[in-house]
Structures are given as C-alpha cells and as structure tokens.
A and B are shown apart, each in its own frame.
Chain A
Amino acid sequence: MITATPPPKETKNYLNAEHGLKSWLLTQDHKRIALLYLIAVSAFFVVGGIMAVLIRLELATPAGDLMDSNTYNKVFTMHGVIMIFFFLIPSIPAILGNFLLPLMIGAKDLAFPRINLISWYVYMLGGCFGVFVLLSGGVDTGWTFYTPFSTTYSNGYVVMTAMAAFINGFSSILTGLNFIVTVHRMRAPGLTWFRLPLFVWAHYATSVIMILGTPVIAVTLFLLMLERGLHIGFFDPAYGGDPVLFQHLFWFYSHPAVYIMILPSMGVISEVISTFSSKKPFGYTFIAFSSVAIAVFGFLVWGHHLFVSSQSAYAGMVFSILSYIVAIPSAIKVFNWAATMYKGSVRLEAPMLYALGFIGLFTVGGLTGLFLSAMGLDVHLTDTYFVVAHFHYVMVGGAIMGYQAGIHFWWPKMFGRMYPRAWATVAAALTFVGFNLTFFPQFILGYMGMPRRYHVYPPEFQVFNVLSSAGASVLGLGYLIPAIYLLWSIKNGEIAGPNPWGATGLEWQTASPPPTENFEVTPVVTTEAYDYTALKLTQEVAHVG
C-alpha cells in the first residue's frame, strides 16, 4: 500500500523545477517561500515547546526545585515571546496563506513576490535577535513588556527582545499588505468577492488587522527601546510618564493580534468542515462578514486587559460590552459550521477530526472569554490560571488545532503525498485528550486563586498541576507523531493525486504538487464557491472517460 506505486514519471512541479540551496533562498515562488516559512516557524515552535516543557516540569511540584524564580521568569517570557511573535502570528498566514491564496484565487503568484521573499528574511532577522536573547541569558519581563519594570528594573535583554518583536512585526505587515493587494487585484476572471473561498475572506480580514495593528506595536516598542536604551522616557513615572499609556498602546495591537492568530484558523475550519461534509457552508455570507466583523470589533476591546489598571469604571463598562459583542460573530461561525455538518455526509478524516476538536475547544475558550470580559468576575480571575487556561483554549485549542487541520488538509497538495491516515487519527485524538488534560485543570486552579507567573505554589494546588503536567506530555506526543509521519510521507507517502478529499476549491484543480505557474491555463470561474454538484459531475465524467 505504502510504496507500491512509484510515480510513473516525475512531472515538473514547484519542488523539482529548480535545484540547489540558492534556488530556495532566492526564490520568488509563493509556494517555496511558504515552505521556507514552514521550516523556520516549525523550528521556533520546537524552541517555544521546550520552554513549555520546562514550565510544566517545574510546576509538577509545589517547590521551586528545578529552577529559581529568575530562571522561571525568563522561561515563561521566552515561551510567550516565541510562541506569539514567531509561531502563532506567522503560522497559518505565512505558511498556508502564502501557499494557498494565489492558488485559491487562480493567480500565478502573490502581487509582490519579491516583497514576499523579503518578508521571510525580515522574519529571520527578527528571529536572529530572538535567538541571540535566548542564548545570551534571556529576558524576564513576560511577553507583555510592561513598563516601568521592562524599562527600568529588568535585568534581561529587553531592548534586544523588543527589537526582535519590532523587526518581526514588519514581516507580518509585508505579508498583510501583499495579501490585501493580491485579493483585490489578482483574482481569476469570474471570481467575484462572493465566490471567494471563506479561507480567503478570513485571510483578508486578518491582513487588515496586520496592517492597522502591527505598526502601533512597532511604535510602542520603539518608544520602549528609547526609554530603556537612551532614557528618553515616555512611560516611567520617574520620567514624568504614565505606565498605563504603555498598556493601552500595547493592547491596542496585542488584543487584535489574538484575532490575527485565530481568524486564519477559522478560515481553515470553514474549508475543512465544508469539504468533509460535502456540503456548501451554511450561511456563506454570514461566515464571510463575521470575519470582517471580528477584525473591526477586535480593535475596540483592548481595554478589557486593563480592568484592574486604574482605567475608569465607565471606560471599563464600555470595553466590557464591546468584548461581549465580539462573541456574536464568533458564535455565528460556530453555529454555521454546526449547521453545515447537519445532514451532510460527514467523513471523519484526520483534518475533520482536528476541525471538530477546534470547534469544541474554541467554544470553551470563547465562553470563558465572556467570564473574563465581565468586569466584576475579572477582578477575581485576573492574573490567575483561569486567564492562562482561557487563552490557551483559544490559542492552542483554537489556533493550533486549526493550523494542524490545515496542514493535514493541504499536505497532500503541498507535497503530492498522503500521510498514514491511521496515525493521523491517533495524533488528532491524542492532541484533543492531551490538550484538555493540560488546560482544563488550569481553569479550576485559577478559580481557586492560583496566580500565574509563579514557580512555587501552595501544596493544595499540586493535584491539578500534576494533571496538567501529565496532560502536557500527552499533548507533546500529539505534536511529535505528526512531525514524524508528515516528514516520512514526503518521500514515502502514497501518491495523493490532485484532489484526494473531493474538495471544490481552485487549488484542487491543479496538480499535486502544483507546477511553478500554479495552473496550466488560467482558470475562469463560472460558479459559486463550494459547488459540490458540479464537482460530482466532473468526477463522473472523468470515470466514464
């Protein structure tokens, strides 16, 4: 079954079009750049993951026996900085978005191929700063860099870390800019806005956040560096400034950044749910506009991070209500996905399992977000493990589950080979179980009052911490297994064929892996997206032929 059918003759595709390291490092092909991102982002995921392992090992016992408080501060800071800036933000847009956006809209490439390549080098330059910090002793401010601790008292490499995030931000600005122009100007003939796959809508909304939000964190980090490095102060009261202004500026980007991480995942889920139900997504326009609504409302809720930071109660109320409102477009998506599956012919392949996991975990993450946007409750829960559990449900249970669903869904398109499906099912199940075991106890811990960011805790919290650490090891296995079989499948997997899942998008109409120019002939679109009847007809015709 596995190696029985060698390819009859290697067809020309983007992977074998050119050879040698130079052909990869100087490529302007969006598909190759996506793979460059895949390698770099995966490497950072491993580093961030190692930090997570250290955190969970330390918290297995109430005493600080593995590391001292200083080291622990550095470990959770690096975990946050790497996972957020170097993994979650670029993961789906820069890998899957880069690879698929031109394919999905029937274009030969993104609008600016050179800028696309530059964005990868900018990312790598930021990454160099990050690795430098990691090797030279780290930073202990938490990924939030709150002033005046970060600018005056911290002993770590604050300027270097801020520089890493600052530079990396430009990479995501360039990606967002490229996507926006591409969606506006590169669509194939006949591909109107409301024929676009929902993945494209989600990436368009994400790009809007990237270009409007990222510059604000850039200038905030610029001011932070001026204050720390040159003592030109803006935030430290010793310089006459106000630290709360930093928090406002920081969260003006960093809350929308949460939607940079989750929206692309939602795009993936829309594609996967539709494909494996063989059914047009229920309420296409609602799902499309809910992405845009999330992007817009996402900019108006940052104040819910400042409920306990001397923000006025009236501002708090407004931010609280606006935060509730974000739940509406999110819920619209969840209900529409459920309605899509209703009476569809659901196939439980690996991508679908991940997608179903996403829906469950994201719903828990979203609902606990409502707890936290209620001001009274937030005063009790703020800075506890409840918050940690909430955002991991959204970020890991949501964003990373979606990323894995996407990787499993489009892997056969990217490399032309299918991975072992049984193993993928096992991995999806392990991830789901391991994830819940890791993070559900943290809700309870947080509710009981265990604060985040401490390496020692009262012994009565140990049971839940041990459960969490045990879950983390299962979760780790859930990430390790796909890494092995996916790499293995590149050489040894079954030949996948152009459309192994019976999906409708334009990307499934070209060869797997696609040729450098994406399509032999520029496609002309004459039907709505997700037209499964037309697809079925085509397949029947092909069978008869």
Chain B
Amino acid sequence: MDSHTAVAAKPHGAHAHPGYGELRHHFESFDQQKDSATIGMWVFLLTELMFFGGLFLAYFVYRQWYPEAFASASNKTDLWLGAFNTTVLICSSLTMALAVHAASMGKRILLVGFLIATLLLGGAFLGVKAYEYHDKWIHHEVPGEHFECEGCKDEVHTPLFFALYFGMTGLHASHMIIGFGILLVLIWQAWCGKFTTKWYTPIEMFGLYWHFVDIVWIFLFPLLYLIDRTGRTLL
C-alpha cells in the first residue's frame, strides 16, 4: 500500500445509531456533515424546480396559443383572496427566517414561537385555498363533464386554464401540506430542546424548503391571478 499512506481511522464501536445531532459515523467532521446536508437540500430543490417546470412549460405553451381563453378565464380567479394569500405566505417566510435566526442564537422559546407562527400562516393559506377550491367547485369551474364558465370566450380551450390552475396550485398546496406536517415535527423537537446553537440543521434545511415553496407561489400568483385582468394578451 505504498501509494496510499494511511491515517488513523476513528474508533469503530458505538456508532450504529448515533444520537440526535451527533456526528454520524461516516462523516469525518461536523462541517462535512452540515455541508452535505446543505448541498443535498439544494440539489433536492433543483429537482423540485424541474418538477414544477413541466407545468410552467404547459402553461406557457397554452397561454401563447389561446390568449383569449386564458384572459377571460383568469378573470374568474379571486384577486383579493389571491393577494391575501400572497401576503400570508410572504409573512410566513419572514417568520421562518426569524425561526432559523432564533435557532442559531439558541433561543428555544423564540424558535418554537416563530415555528408556530409559520405553521399558523401556512394553515391560513391552505384554508383560503380550500375556500377558493370550494368556490370553483360550486360554480362548476372544475374541468370535467359539468364544466361551465359564464362569460368565457374560447369555450374549447377555457378548461385548459382551469386544469392548469388546479394542477399548479394543487401541486403547490401538496407541498404546503407536506411542509405543514414537517413543521409539526420540528415544533415538537424544538420544544423538547433537541436543537442547539451547534446543531440546528433540520431547521435550516426546512427553511430552504419553505422559502422555495413560497417562491413558487410568487410566480403562480401573477400567472394565474394578475396577468390579463384587463384583457390584454401576453407579448
């Protein structure tokens, strides 16, 4: 083994199941462990970007082809509920960022508080979204056999707008619901004092996820609620 000189390995025993926040056995240092988590999360967000990307592409293509259908159908979305939800989500991103900061300062109660605030804002968003879906349902604006759209111009292609509306906001909402579940776990762990100033990686990683879901909405809101409210076409 002359081409590969050796350095002493860490002792082998007792790392089958390392405790929470401890160095896992296959890493050499905390830095390496945290770097890995961070890169992993960014790579994951990249896959999420491509995941939503397919829907954005479909939106872009159909909008270019059928601007009239999209213009008249987008007037059916509730601008004020959408705007309210956008505000709610931006606030939740702020509380999440503050939660990460509180974690880095080691302030347990503050951390739990901000996480709960994020949870409540996320819940408010989902509640409003559910109300909007319900509203679409009773107005027969869900694509399918009973689809109707009063005052819509291009009847053949109007359902496409609503299909994309439900596809995009539905995929977004499912990410919110998953985030909601993870938040519940994090709140419990934070309450039990599992996070320290040295190790709060899950909080930080979840923060990245939450901001990503937020940014997706920042794009969805103008595409589905804002553009063409005056009836002018794209480009």
Residues of A at under 8 Å CB distance from B? 102, 107-113, 115, 173, 177-178, 180-181, 184-186, 189, 211-216, 218-220, 222-223, 226, 230-234, 239-242, 245, 249, 506, 509, 517, 519-527, 531, 534-535, 537-538, 541
Residues of B within 8 A of A231 (CB): 143-145
Q: Give CA–CA (A230, B35) in the complex, Å.
A: 42
Cβ-closest chain B residue relative to A109:
B26
12 sampled A-B residue pairs with Cβ under 8 A: A102-B26, A177-B43, A181-B36, A186-B26, A212-B47, A215-B47, A215-B50, A231-B143, A232-B162, A242-B62, A525-B4, A534-B2
Closest chain B CB from A173 CB (angstroms) = 5
Q: Is the CB of B2 within 8 A of A211?
A: no
**Would B159 and A223 count as touching, CB distance under 8 A?**
no
**Contact B43 A181, beta carbon cutoff 8 Å:** yes
What distance in Å separates the Cβ of B56 from its nearest Cβ neighbour in chain A? 10
Q: How far is the CA of A185 from the CA of B51 in the complex (A)?
A: 26
Whether A230 and B47, one on each chain, are in contact in the complex, defined by CB atoms closer than 8 angstroms, is no
| Pick from A112, A226, A521, A537: contact of B167, CB under 8 Å | A226
For residue B180, CB closer than 8 A to chain A, the reply is no
A234 to B159 alpha-carbon distance, docked (Å): 9
1/0 per position for B37-53, CB-CB distance to A under 8 A? 00110011011111111
Contacts of A108 in B (CB 8 A): 25-26
B163 interfacial by beta-carbon distance below 8 Å: yes
The answer to whether A215 and B43 touch (CB under 8 A), given A109-B26, A519-B9, is: no
Q: Which residues of chain B are near A110, meaning CB under 8 Å? A: 26
The residues of B that contact A186 with a CB separation of less than 8 Å are 26, 32, 36
The docked-state distance in angstroms from the alpha carbon of A535 to that of B4 is 10
Residues of B close to A223: CB separation below 8 A: 54-55, 58, 167
8 Å CB contact of B2 from A113, A214, A234, A537: A537
> In whole angstroms, how far apart are the Cα atoms of A506 and B171 in the complex?
44
The answer, yes or no, to whether B3 is at the interface (CB within 8 Å) is yes
**Contact for A538 among B3, B65, B66, CB less than 8 A:** B3
B143–A232 touching, CB < 8 Å: yes
Find out whether the CB atom of A219 lies under 8 angstroms from the CB atom of B163. no
CB of B157 within 8 A of chain A?
A: yes
- Cβ 8 A contact of A112, one of B25, B36, B62, B65: B36
Give the residue of A109, A173, A189 whose beta carbon is less than 8 angstroms from that of B7.
Answer: A189
Q: Tell me which residues from 56 to 75 in chain B have a Cβ below 8 Å from any Cβ of chain A.
A: 57-58, 61-62, 65-66, 69
Q: A525-B4, A538-B1 are in contact. Are A220 and B36 (CB under 8 A)?
A: no
Whether A184 pairs with B4 at a CB distance below 8 angstroms is no
**Proximity bits, B141-182, A CB within 8 Å = 1, else 0:** 011110000000000111110111011000100000000000
Q: Which residues of A contact B162 (CB under 8 A)?
A: 232
Question: Do residues B158 and A240 form an inter-chain contact, with CB atoms below 8 A?
Answer: yes
Chain B residues closer than 8 Å to A189, beta-carbon distance:
7
* Contact (A185, B167) CB under 8 Å given A218-B51, A232-B144, A234-B58: no
Which residues on the B side are within 8 Å of A218 (C-beta)? Answer: 51
If A226-B167, A239-B159, A521-B7 touch, whether A177 touches B40 (CB-CB below 8 Å) is: yes
Whole-angstrom distance between the alpha carbons of A274 and B101 in the complex? 52
Asked if A216 contacts B50 (CB within 8 A), the reply is yes
Tell me the minimal C-beta distance from B46 to chain A in angstroms: 6
User: Quick check: A521 and B6 within 8 Å, CB to CB?
Assistant: yes
Confirm or deny: B8 has a beta carbon within 8 angstroms of a beta carbon on chain A. Answer: yes
Is residue B230 contacting chain A, with contact meaning CB distance below 8 A?
no
Which residues of A have CB within 8 Å of B142? 232
Q: A108-B26, A109-B26 are in contact. Are A240 and B1 (CB under 8 A)?
A: no
Interface residues of B in 179-218 (CB under 8 A from A): none
Q: How many angstroms between the C-alpha atoms of A108 and B1 in the bound complex?
A: 19
Q: How far is the CA of A215 from the CA of B50 in the complex (A)?
A: 6
Q: Which residues of B contact A233 (CB under 8 A)?
A: 143, 159-160, 163
On chain B, the residues within 8 Å of A520 by CB distance are 9
Cα distance A522–B29 in the bound complex, in angstroms: 14
Residues of A within 8 A of B49 (CB): 215
Taken together as a complex, chains A and B put the C-alpha atoms of A181 and B36 apart, in Å, by 6
Query: Across the interface, do B4 and A219 meet the contact criterion of CB distance under 8 Å?
Result: no
Interface of A is mostly: helix
B160 in contact with A239 (CB, 8 Å): yes
Nearest A residue to B4 via CB reads A523
Whether the Cβ atoms of B51 and A219 lie closer than 8 Å is yes
Q: What separation, in Å, do the CA atoms of A180 and B47 have in the docked complex?
A: 13
List B contacts of A534 (CB < 8 A).
2-3
Q: Which residues of B contact A509 (CB under 8 A)?
A: 1, 4
**Closest 5 A-B residue pairs measured CB to CB?**
A219-B54, A215-B51, A109-B26, A108-B26, A215-B50
Most chain A CB neighbours (cut-off 10 Å) among B66, B156, B159, B163: B163
Within 8 A of A (CB), among B13-45: 24-26, 28, 32, 35-36, 39-40, 43-44
Q: What residues of chain B lie closer than 8 Å to A102, measured between beta carbons? A: 26
- A220 to B107: give the CA distance in the assembly, Å: 44
B36 near A111 with CB under 8 A, answer yes
Candidates A111, A220, A523; contact of B40 at CB < 8 Å: A111
* A230 pairs with B1, CB closer than 8 A: no
Decide: A521 and B9 in contact? CB cutoff 8 A. yes
Say which residue of A111, A211, A215 sits within 8 Å of B53 (CB atoms).
A215
Given A109-B26, A522-B9, A239 contacting B163 (CB threshold 8 A): yes
In-complex Cβ contact of A239 among B28, B66, B143 (8 A): B143
A177 to B48 CA separation, bound complex (whole angstroms): 12
Give Cα A181–Cα B158 distance, bound, in whole angstroms: 44
Residue in contact with B55 in the complex, picked from A180, A212, A219, A241, CB distance below 8 Å: A219
Q: Find chain A residues with CB under 8 A from B9 CB.
A: 517, 519-522
Residues on A with C-beta less than 8 A from B69 are 240
Instruction: Decide if A234 touches B43 in the complex (CB within 8 Å).
Output: no
Contact B39 A185 (CB under 8 A): yes
Distance (whole angstroms) from the CB of A537 to the closest CB of chain B: 6
Given A219-B55, A233-B163, A249-B57 in contact, is the A113-B26 Cβ separation under 8 Å? yes
Q: Is the CB of B160 within 8 A of A524?
A: no
Partner of A226, one of B25, B66, B163: B163
Known: A185-B36, A212-B50, A522-B7. A232 touches B25 (CB 8 A): no
Q: Specify which chain B residues have a CB less than 8 angstroms from the CB of A219 in the assembled complex.
A: 50-55, 171
CB nearest to B164 among chain A residues:
A234
Which residues of chain B are within 8 angstroms of A177 by Cβ–Cβ distance? 40, 43-44, 47
Which chain B residue has the least Cβ–Cβ distance from A212? Answer: B50
Greatest chain A CB density within 10 A among B9, B156, B157 is at B9
Task: Given A223-B167, A226-B163, answer yes or no on A112-B40 (Cβ-Cβ < 8 Å).
Answer: yes
Contact call B144/A538, Cβ cutoff below 8 A: no
Q: Are the CB atoms of B144 and A185 closer together than 8 Å?
A: no
Instruction: Point out the residues of chain B lying under 8 angstroms from A521, CB to CB.
Output: 6-9
Add 14 more A-B contacts to A240-B66, A521-B9 (CB < 8 A).
A113-B26, A181-B39, A186-B36, A213-B50, A219-B50, A231-B143, A232-B163, A234-B167, A241-B160, A245-B58, A245-B61, A249-B58, A519-B9, A521-B7
